[in-house]
Structure 1
Amino acid sequence: MPAKKKVDGDKLIKMVESGKHQTEIMKTFKFNTAAQFKSHLLDAYMNAGKVPEVKTGRGKAKADVSKEVQIRKTGSVVIPKVLIDEMGFKGGDTFVVRKTKAGISLRKI
């Protein structure tokens, strides 16, 4: 799939809002299809903050990270990598584990 054209969104919006005909706009921006024109117009409106961004299946943002950890059959505690990165831990870090009223406490040494 070819890369998307670079288009001046403000100019595109001005032409549409001034009432220019679609074929004239397509010639100006060298769009080959109406779908290409509409895609660029929607992007221009979203970038201008006039339309909310539409979430699609492609290029999915990472889902909200669960704060849950898992204990494996071997007794190992598995903490998701995203949480490790978020907290600034690195491989080889050492921790003290204590039992508390609320459950357990994990403190970096």
Structure 2
Amino acid sequence: AFDFLDREMGRLKDLGQRDTALLAACRAEEKSGFFLDGQLSLFTKYLLDSIVHASEPLTLEQGFEQCRTRMHEYFVEVNRALLSARKPALDEYRPFLVDYCRQPPLLKP
């Protein structure tokens, strides 16, 4: 099976393919999801929020960190409410970043 996150990025680096980065909603063995209303994925919403609200240049690493923090806060809040209502908690997943770039990639110049 083709598993881009686990093998292909490493192969590109081994072949000398520099300046390659991959940002994903979660690791290959995890499953990403949507807000409880089902309208937008957590990863997409929080990454877009970081880009739109950035008042200065935003690197891929900064966007990743902001997205990861906001997603964790979401899971803590939602799971607290679900557990207090005696419902099962959601499985938390975290964004995943592989960055082989020599210069920090910019999400917002």
* Structure 1 or 2: more helix by fraction: 2
**Structure of greater relative contact order (alpha carbons < 8 Å, 6+ residues apart):** 2
TM-based fold match above 0.5? no
Compute the TM-score of the two structures, normalised by the length of structure 1: 0.22
Please say which structure displays the higher CA radius of gyration.
Answer: 1
